[in-house]
Structure 1
Amino acid sequence: MMSFWLVLQQLALLILIITTDALNNNNESDHAALLAMKSKILDPFGGGALSSWNESSHFCNWEGVVCGKRHKRVTIIHLSSLGLSGTLSPHVGNLTFLRRLLLNNNTFHGEIPNEIGGLYRLKALVLRRNSFQGRIPSSLSRCSNLMNISIGFNNLVGTIPEEFSSLSMLKEISVHYNNLTGGIPKSLGNITSLEEFSAAYNHFAGTIPNNLGQLKNLVFLGLAGNQISGMIPSSLYNLSNLNFLSLSFNHLHGSLPPYFGNMFPHLKILQLHYNNFTGQLPNSIGNLTKAKTLAFSGNEFSGKLTVDFRKLVNLRRLYLDSNNLGSGDFDEMHFLESLTNCNSLEVLNIHGNQFRGVLPDFVGNLSSNLYCFGFSSNQLQGRIPPTIGNLVNLSLLGLSYNRFTGPIPSTIGKLQKLQRFVLQGNQLSGTIPVSIGNLSLIIGLYFSNNNLEGTIPSSIGNCKRLIALNLEQNNLSGTIPKELFQVSSLSIFLDLSDNNLSGPLPSEIGELKSLVALDISNNNLSGEIPGSVSSCTSLESLFLQGNMLQGSIPNSMEFMRGLQFLDLSSNNLSGQIPTFLEKLSLINLNLSFNDFNGELPLHGTFANSSSVSVYGNDKLCGGIPSLQLPRCPVKKLNRNFFFSSKRIYAIVGASILGILILISSLVFYLRKRKRESTTLKLLPKESFVQISYGELLNATDEFSSSNLIGAGGFGFVYRGVLDQIGDVAIKVLNLVNPGATRSFIAECKALKSIRHRNLVKIVTCCSSIDFQGNEFKALVYEFMMNGNLEKWLHPSQNTSRSEFNLLQRLRVAIDVAFALDYLHNQCEPTVIHCDLKPSNILLDQQMVSHVGDFGLARLYHPEMGISHHSSSMGVIGTVGYAAPEYGIGSEMSIKGDVYSYGVLLLEMLTGKRPTDLMFVNGLNIHNFVGQALAKNAVELVLDQAILKSDIVISQRDNCLIALVKIGLACSEELPQNRMCMTDVVRELQHINKAMFK
C-alpha cells in the first residue's frame, strides 16, 4: 500500500516538473511575441511608454503588461492613450493566455492581423480611435470567449463578418465611425447575449433586420449616419430593455405607432432626427418616463402636438425642429404647459414648424435650467411675454421669422447668461430697451427686419463680448452712439443699414480693429468720412452708400490693405478719386452718384469695368474705354516758357546734371553688386529687412531641435525670436536637394511684390555664407500662432485642440478664396500657387487664414506664358490636390489652383483627406460627395463636428449644401468646367451674409 502512494507521489512530481518546463518554454514564447510587437510600434516620445520593454526586467513587469499570478503568462496588454503608432504585429496571436487587448486612443494603422483569431481566451478586444484599415478579420469568430469587440473610430472597410453569430458570449459590438458597407447582418439576431450594438456613421444600406428583435438583452442600439431605408420593423418594439436608440441620419420612413412610447420603459436617449418619418407624434411619447433626450428634428411630422410631457421629469433635451408640426388651433401652444413640469429641461427647440397662436405667459415657468429656447421660423404672433425674463440661464433665445408684435420686453436684461438673441424678421415695434446693456456675455444680437424705432441705446457699449450686431431695416433714428464703436470685440459684422440714423460717423469707428464687415448704408449720415476708419485694419467690406456724406475720400484709407468691397455711392463726396485705390485688393468698388472730378485711375480694380462703378459723376474723365467716360482735356503748356533763354539754360543744365547723376548711380550700383556676391541677387535689397546668419542662429538657439516646428522636401522650419521683429518662422533650405535653390528663388520672387491680408508675409530672403563657409539660404516669415489647417482638420490623438466649427471653416474658405482671387486676377504677373493644401494654409492668433509656401509657384505673363524657371521642373504639386490634367503633362494654370481649392473645401466639409484609403477603384473625394448630394444625403458624408453647431439648423444646412456645390464645381475633372475664383468669392460672400440674417 505504501509503495502505491510513493509511486503516485513520484508521478505527480514528474507531471509538475513537465508542466513547469512547458510553462517556462511558453513564457519564452510570450517574451518573443512582446518583442515582436514592440518592433512594429513607434513611440513618439522615445524613451516613453515602451522604454521598460527591455531585458533588464521580466516582461511581466513591463509597462502595460499584466501576467497571471500562477503561470506568469501574459493576460492583459493595456497601452491605451499613449500616443503610439505603427502596426499590430501578427505575433500577438502567440499570446495564447491573453484575455484583454487594449490599444485604444493611439494612431495604429495597417490591418488587424488574422492571427488574432488564435487567442481563444480573449474576452475584450479594444482598438477604438486608431487608424486601422482593411477588413474586420472573420477569424475573430474563433475567439469563443469574446465579450467585447470595440473597434470604432478607425478606417475599416468591408462588412461585419457573418461568423460573429457564433460568439455566444458576446455583449458588445462597437464598429461606429468606420467605412463599413453592406447591410446589418441578420445573423446578429442569433447573438442573444448582445447588450450593445453600435454601428453608427458607416455606409450600411438596406433595412433594419427583423432578427434584431430577438436581442432581448439589448440596451444600446446605434445605427445613426448610415443609408438605411425602409420602416422601423415591428419586432424592434420588443426590445423593452433599450435605454439608447439612435436611428438618426438615415432614410427611414413611415409613422410611429400609437403605442410607441409604451414599449420602451427604460429608454433614456431616443434619436430619430433627420429621416423621412411622417404622421403625428403619438401621445404615448409622454410615457417615456426615463427619457433624457428626445430628438425628432428634420422629419415630416405634422399635425397638432398633443403629447402630455408632464411625466417626463428627467427630460433635458427636446428637439422638434424642422418638421411640419402645427394645426392652427387656438390652443396650439398648450403643450408648453405640460413642459413646465420638466424641471431638468435644458434645450427646447421647435424651430422651423407651422406653430401658430401666441406665446403664453407660462413660458416663464419652464425649467430654470433651460439654456436653448429655439422658436424661430414659425407663425407665432402677439407680444413676447415679459415672463421670458425668468429663464435666467438662457444662452440662446431664437424667436426670429415669426409674427411677433409689440416691444422687446425690458425684462430681457435679466438674461445675463444670454449669448445669442435672435429676433429678426418679425413686426416688433417700440425702442430697444436700455436693459440690453445688462447682457454682458452676449456675442450676437440680430434684430433686423422689424419696426423698431428710437435711438440705439448707448448702454449697448456694455456688451463687451459682442461680435455681431444686426439692426438693419428698422426705423431707428438719432446719432450712432460712440459707445457702440468702442465695443472692440465686434469682429464678424456690424449692420445698421436701412434705418433713419443721422449725424456724423463718430471718430471712435477706428476702435473696431477686428471688424470684418461694416454696413451703415441707406441712412441720413452727414459730415465727412473720418480718417480714423483706416484703423479698422481687419475690414474687408465697407458699405456707406445712400447717405449724405461729403468731403473727399480720406488719404488714410490707403492703409486698409484688406478691403475687398467698398461702396460709397449715392452720397455727396467730391474731389479727385485717389490713385491709392488702385493698390487695394478691391473686388468691387462703387463710387456712383457723387460729385467726384478729375481723371479716373486706370489700374487695379479700375482696369475691370465689372468691378468698378462710377456712374453719375459728371466731372470725371478718362479711365478704361469700357467705362465710356469723356476724354480728359490735354493740358496746354505756356509756349513763352520754352522760348525764354534763361529757361533754356536751366532745362539744358538740369538735363546734363540728371544724366551725370544717372551714370554715377549706375556705376556705383554695378560696383556694389560685384562686391556683394553673397547677397540675394533676385531681389532689391530694400525689399526686405536685412538679417544675418548669426542673427538667425541666435534667434533659433542655434537651430535647436526644440525650436523645430516642421519639415518638408526642401528644408526645415524653425520658430525663432528676432529682436527687431519678434516671433518668426524660419525656413532653412536643404541645399543638398537639387530643387531647393529653385524653390527658394520661386518663393522669394513670388512673394517679393505681393501683399495681401490672406497671404503669409515674408520678412526677408536670406542668402549668405555660414560660419563654416558653406552656402546658406533661408526664408523668414511672420509666425502663425495657430499652426496650419492640417492640424485643425486632422488633429493627432494627443493634441489638445478646441473644436473646429462650421463658422471657422467658412471663414477659412473665404480667406483662402480671397488669396487665390488676388493671385490669379489682381497680380501682375499672375501667380499660380501650384501646391494648395491644408499644410500650406496657416492660421494666425485671430484664426485668420494665410496661404503660404510658394516654393512651387509659377508666374504667368500674358506675353511670355509661364515662367518655367520659377520652380523645379516636373514637380506638379501634391497627390490628391494636384489637378488631374497635370498628370498627363498639361501646362500649369490658375484652373489647377481652382481644382486644389475645390478638393480642400470638400476636405474641410467631410474631414476626409483626398488620399484616404477609402478612395480606391475610381472613387475620389469629388465623386464621394457628389453621389451624396445626388441622393440628398450630404449630411451623411460631412464631418460630424460641423453639424454640432448653435446655428439655426435651416441656415446651417443651406450653408453646407451651398459649400458642397462650390467644392464640387471647383473640383470638376475638366478645367473649363471649373469656377473662377472671383465667382467663388462672390458666392462665399452671399453664404456668409445669409448665415447671419
Structure 2
Amino acid sequence: MQNITLSLALHSIDHPGNATDHAALLAIKSQLKVPSNWVLSSWNDSIHHCFWEGVKCGRKHKRVTVLDLSSRGLAGTISPFIGNLSFLKIINFYNNSLYGEIPTQLGNLVRLHVLQLFNNTLVGEIPGNISGCVNLRVFFIANNKLEGKLPTGLGALSKLIHFLVHINNLTGPLFDIIQNLTSLVTIAAIENSFTGTIPNSIGRMHNLTILEAGENEFSGTLPTSLFNISSLEVLDFNDNQLHGELLADVGVNIPRLTWFNLAVNNFTGLIPITIQNLTALEVINFLENNFIGNVPFYFGNFHKLNILFLGGNFLKGDINLIDTLVNCSQLRILDLGPNHFSGILPKSVANLSTSLQDLNIGNNLISGKIPEDITNLKNLEMLWIDNCNLTGSIPQDFGKLYKLEQVVLSSNRLEGRIPSSLGNISHLSGLYLDDNVLKESIPPHLGNCQSLLYLNLSQNELNGTLGDELFEGSATFIELYMSHNHLEGSLPLEMGKQNNLVLLGLDNNKFSGIIPDSLGDCSDLQHLFMDGNSFEGNIPSSFASLASLQEIDFSRNNLSGPIPAFFSKFPILYYLNLSYNDFEGRVPTNSVFANVSAVFVTGNSRLCGGIKQLHLPKCIEKIKSSGKKKRIMSHTLKLIIPIVCAFIGVVAISAGLYVASIKKRKTPLLSGLTMGNATMKVSYDMLLKATTGFSSANLLGIGSFGSVFKGILDGKTVAVKVLNLQYRFASKSFMAECNVLRNIRHRNLIGIITACSSIDFQRNDFRALVYEFMPNGSLDKWLHGGDRNMSLAQRVDLAIDVAHAISYLHHDCETPIVHCDLKPSNILLDNDMVAHVGDFGLARFLTQPRHPNQSSTIGIKGTIGYAAPGNNRVIPIYI
C-alpha cells in the first residue's frame, strides 16, 4: 500500500491536475457536515485522494471521474470548487440533507454524464449554464425545493436520456423547452407547477418510454402524435387542466402501455373501445373526469390489471360488468363510484381477486344485498358501498375480513343489527354506517377495535344505552357520531377516557341525566353536539378545560343554572347554542357572546343582559343594604305593603263586578279590528316585502318558536310572527294558535289580520301569522322595563281588560279555552293602552264537563312556576 501511495504521489508531480483535484475535494469537504467521525474520515493527506471514500479516478491520468457521496447522511452545501473537477463523469449526491443552491460552476463539467442530486433540500433555480454539460445523459434532481423556470439551455442537451425533475416547485413551460430532445427515454416532472400545452412535436420523441407529468397545470388537449409513440409504457397526466375527447384509435399504436393515468382532468365524451387492445395494462385511472356513456369493453382480457379507477364520471350501464373482472387475478384496487351504474349488485363481487384491497362501488344506482360470501375477499382493506339503495342486513361474519381498515356503508336502507363480529377487526380505523335503518343496541365489542378512530352510527333506529364497554376498550375515538337515534339513559363516566376525541355528536336522542364531569377530560374536543335530548342540571365546571371547543350545541334540553363564564374565554369558539333550556342569570357580552350570529339563547325565560341584539331584558341589580339603610327600607316596605294590598283589593273587586255584568249580558265585545281583511290572501313574497326581507331592524322580539317582525301590509302596520318548524313543538304551537284564533273575537284579545288558511308561505320549514300591531309593546316592558311608569288607574284598567279576555275565553266561547301561558310578556298594549291577550301557542280547548271535583287532563304548560320579578310566590287567579 505504501508503494502504491508513493507511486501516486510521485505521479501527481508529473500531473499538476491531481493537485487541483486534491484541493477541490478538500474544499468540498469543508462545506459538508458529517453525521459521525467515520464519514469522510479517509479524506486526509495520509493516502492519495483517489483512495478516499466515494472517490474514483481514471486509470490513465488519475483524475477524479466519479464522486459518489450518496446516502451518507451529509448536510451542508455543494462547494463551487466542484467545477474544478474537470474530468468528472458522475456526481451522486442523492439521499442526503444538502441545502443551498446548485453551484453554477457545474456548467464547466463538459465531461459530465450523470448528475444525481435527488432527495435533498436544494433551493433556487437550475443554473442557466447547465447547457455547458454537453455530454449529460442523466439529469436527476427530483425531490428538492427548486423553483423558477427551466433554463432554455436545457434544450441544447441533445444526449439527454433521463430527465427527472419531479417533486419541486418549478414553473413555466416544460415541453416547449425539451421538445427537441429526441433521445429522451424518461420524462418525470410530476408535482411541480409547469404550465403550457403538450405540442404535437412530442411525437418526435420516438424513444420515450416513461412520460410522467401529473399534478401540474398543463392545459389544452392531448396531441394525436402522442399516441403514435410505440415505445410508450407509462403515460401519466393526472391532475392537470386538460380537456377534450380521447381519439377513437387511442389504443392502436401504443401496445406496450402498462400505466394509463388521466385522472382529475376535464376529459369528456366516450371512453374509446380501442383501449381493449392494450392488454398489457396494469393501471387504468380515469378518475374524476366527465366521461359519459357505457364502458364499451369488458375486462376479461386484462390479465395484468392491477388498478382500475373509473369513479367520478358520468358512466352508466349495468353493474354486472363486475362479472368480467373476476378473471383479473391481480386486481388490487377497484373504484367505480360515483357514476350512474345501475342494477342489482351481483354475487360475483365476492369472487373478485383475493388480492383485492380497495373496493369502491358507492354512489351508484345499484340495489340488492351485500353477499354473505364477501368475506372471501380476505385481503380487503377498504370497502365503500355508500349512497346506493342496498337492503337487507350486514353479513354477521363481517369480522372475518380481519384486514379491514375502512368500512363505508352510509346512506342505504340496510337493516337489522350491527354485527358484533366487527369488534374482532383490530385494524379497523373508520366505520361509517350512518343513514340506514339499523336497529337494536350498539355492540359493546366495538370498543375492542384498538385502531378505531372514526365511528358514525347516526340517523338509524338504534336504541338502548351506551355501555361502559364501548369506552373501556382499546378504541381511541377521534370522531364519534351517534345522533338521530333512539338511544337513552345517562352517559357513562368512562366516556371521559377518550382523550383524543375531537368531535362528539349525541344530538337528537333520548339521553337524560346530568352531563358527566369526566367529559371535561376530553381536552382535544372541538365540536360538541348534545342538543335535542333530556339532559338536566348545570353545565359541568370541568368544561372550563375544553378551551379547544369551536362548536357547542346544548339546545332543546332541560339544562339549568347560569351560563358558564368560561365560555367567553374560549379563544376559537364560533358557535354556541343554548336555546330552549332553563338557564338563568346574566348573559356575558364579550368574546363569542358579542356576536349575535354565533350565540343563541332563545327559549330561556330567566336570562337577562347580553348584547342588545339578543333582545333580553335588563338585569336587575340586587342592592346590598345594611344598618340604617335596612331600617329605612323596612319602614318603606311597611308603607308600600298596605298600598299594594289595597290596589289588589280594588282590582279584584272591579274584576268581580265586571265579570258579573258580563255574565248577565253574554255579549262579547268585538275587537275594533276590521275583519274584512281576515280573508286577505297573503304570500311569502308579500311578507318578505312588508318586513324588508325580515330585517333585524324590523325585529320586535324573539319567542320560543320563532320571531316577530314589524311590517307594512296593504298600507297597514302589522306584526308578522314567523315560526321556525325546525324548533321542537313549533308546528304544534302553530296549529294550536290557528285553531284558537279562528274561533275567538274580542276587543281584549289580539287581533289577527289573516286566517291561517290564507297564508301562502313558500318555505316548508317556516309558517307565519299576521297580527294587529300593538304600538305600546308588552305589559312586561311597562312593569319591569325600568324606564316606563304606569298610574294606578292605568293598572286597574289593564287588570280589568285582562279579566274581560279571560272571562270571555272561559265562559263565552262555544268551547271553553284555557290560555295556559298567561304572563305580562303575552299581554300587549295598543295605542290607547288597552290590554290585549296574545300568544295562544299553548292554548287548549276544554272539552271536559265542568265539575269542581273533576281533574283536568291539560297538564302543566307554559312558563312553569311563573312569577313576575319581585314576587316570591305564584299567585293563582280564578275567574
TM-score (normalised: structure 2) = 0.65
CA distance in 1 between counterparts of 2:366 and 2:618 reads: 57
Distance change >3 Å, CA 76–CA 590, structure 1 → 2: same
Give the C-alpha shift of residue 294 in structure 1: 1.6
Question: Paired residue for 1:49?
Answer: 39
Find out whether 1:423 has 2:409 as its counterpart.
yes
Q: Which of the residues 634, 639, 646 maps onto 2:622? A: 634
What whole-Å deviation, never above 9, does each CA across 1:451-507 have from its counterpart, x for those lacking one? 222222222222232111111122222222222233453332211111111222223
Question: Paired residue for 1:691?
Answer: none
Distance change >3 Å, CA 494–CA 268, structure 1 → 2: same
What whole-Å deviation, never above 9, does each CA across 1:391-435 have from its counterpart, x for those lacking one? 121111111122222322323222111111112222322222222
What whole-Å deviation, never above 9, does each CA across 1:802-853 have from its counterpart, x for those lacking one? xxxxxxxxxxxxxxxxxxxxxxxxxxxxxxxxxxxxxxxxxxxxxxxxxxxx
CA distance in 2 between counterparts of 1:256 and 1:236 reads: 12
Give the C-alpha shift of residue 255 in structure 1: 2.1
CA distance in 2 between counterparts of 1:79 and 1:292 reads: 36
3-state DSSP of counterpart to 1:356 = strand
CA distance in 2 between counterparts of 1:143 and 1:530 reads: 72
Q: Which of the residues 238, 244, 250 maps onto 1:248? A: 238
What whole-Å deviation, never above 9, does each CA across 1:903-937 have from its counterpart, x for those lacking one? xxxxxxxxxxxxxxxxxxxxxxxxxxxxxxxxxxx
Question: Paired residue for 1:31?
Answer: 22
Question: Paired residue for 1:399?
Answer: 385
Question: Paired residue for 1:317?
Answer: 307
Distance change >3 Å, CA 183–CA 617, structure 1 → 2: closer
Distance change >3 Å, CA 315–CA 629, structure 1 → 2: same
| Residue identity opposite 2:439 in structure 1 | E
Contact 1:186-1:210 within 8 A present in 2 as well = no
| Residue identity opposite 2:27 in structure 1 | A
Tell me whether 445-454 or 158-167 shows the greater mean CA deviation. Answer: 158-167
Give the C-alpha shift of residue 146 in structure 1: 2.7
CA distance in 2 between counterparts of 1:140 and 1:582 reads: 61
Give the C-alpha shift of residue 181 in structure 1: 4.1
CA distance in 2 between counterparts of 1:606 and 1:141 reads: 65
Q: Which of the residues 287, 294, 303 maps onto 2:284? A: 294
| Residue identity opposite 1:34 in structure 2 | L
3-state DSSP of counterpart to 1:236 = helix
1 or 2, which has the higher strand percentage? 2
3-state DSSP of counterpart to 1:527 = strand
Question: Paired residue for 2:770?
Answer: none
Find out whether 1:308 has 2:298 as its counterpart.
yes
3-state DSSP of counterpart to 1:440 = coil
Question: Paired residue for 2:531?
Answer: 545
Distance change >3 Å, CA 510–CA 203, structure 1 → 2: closer
Contact 1:160-1:180 within 8 A present in 2 as well = yes
1 or 2, which has the higher helix percentage? 1
| Residue identity opposite 1:242 in structure 2 | L
CA radius of gyration, larger in? 2
Equivalent positions of 1:69-218 (< 5 A) are 69-133=59-123, 135-137=125-127, 139-157=129-147, 159-160=149-150, 164=154, 167-185=157-175, 188=178, 190-218=180-208
Q: Which of the residues 580, 588, 602 maps onto 1:615? A: 602
Identity %: 43
| Residue identity opposite 2:373 in structure 1 | T
What whole-Å deviation, never above 9, does each CA across 1:960-991 have from its counterpart, x for those lacking one? xxxxxxxxxxxxxxxxxxxxxxxxxxxxxxxx
Find out whether 1:504 has 2:490 as its counterpart.
yes
| Residue identity opposite 2:240 in structure 1 | N
CA distance in 2 between counterparts of 1:290 and 1:108 reads: 40
Q: Which runs of 5 or more residues in structure 1 are unaligned?
A: 1-16, 645-997
Q: Which runs of 5 or more residues in structure 2 are unaligned?
A: 1-7, 633-879
CA distance in 1 between counterparts of 2:272 and 2:335 reads: 18
| Residue identity opposite 1:359 in structure 2 | L
Distance change >3 Å, CA 501–CA 187, structure 1 → 2: closer
CA distance in 2 between counterparts of 1:626 and 1:185 reads: 60
Question: Paired residue for 2:750?
Answer: none
Give the C-alpha shift of residue 365 in structure 1: 0.7
Contact 1:408-1:430 within 8 A present in 2 as well = yes
Question: Paired residue for 2:420?
Answer: 434
Q: Which of the residues 447, 451, 470 maps onto 2:437? A: 451
CA distance in 2 between counterparts of 1:308 and 1:139 reads: 52
CA distance in 2 between counterparts of 1:346 and 1:403 reads: 25
Distance change >3 Å, CA 557–CA 157, structure 1 → 2: closer
CA distance in 1 between counterparts of 2:224 and 2:610 reads: 75
Give the C-alpha shift of residue 236 in structure 1: 1.7
CA distance in 2 between counterparts of 1:600 and 1:237 reads: 70
| Residue identity opposite 1:287 in structure 2 | N
Contact 2:549-2:570 within 8 A present in 1 as well = yes
| Residue identity opposite 1:399 in structure 2 | I
Find out whether 1:375 has 2:365 as its counterpart.
no
Distance change >3 Å, CA 88–CA 339, structure 1 → 2: same
Distance change >3 Å, CA 570–CA 145, structure 1 → 2: closer
| Residue identity opposite 1:151 in structure 2 | I
Give the C-alpha shift of residue 78 in structure 1: 0.5
3-state DSSP of counterpart to 1:232 = coil
Q: Which of the residues 522, 536, 561 maps onto 1:536? A: 522
3-state DSSP of counterpart to 1:211 = helix
Give the C-alpha shift of residue 347 in structure 1: 1.0
3-state DSSP of counterpart to 1:260 = coil
Give the C-alpha shift of residue 304 in structure 1: 0.6
CA distance in 2 between counterparts of 1:318 and 1:119 reads: 46
Find out whether 1:481 has 2:472 as its counterpart.
no
Tell me whether 229-238 or 301-310 shows the greater mean CA deviation. Answer: 229-238
Distance change >3 Å, CA 458–CA 97, structure 1 → 2: same
Distance change >3 Å, CA 133–CA 525, structure 1 → 2: closer
Question: Paired residue for 2:450?
Answer: 464
CA distance in 2 between counterparts of 1:159 and 1:542 reads: 48
Distance change >3 Å, CA 132–CA 535, structure 1 → 2: closer
Find out whether 1:334 has 2:320 as its counterpart.
yes
3-state DSSP of counterpart to 2:263 = coil
CA distance in 1 between counterparts of 2:153 and 2:547 reads: 65
3-state DSSP of counterpart to 1:432 = coil
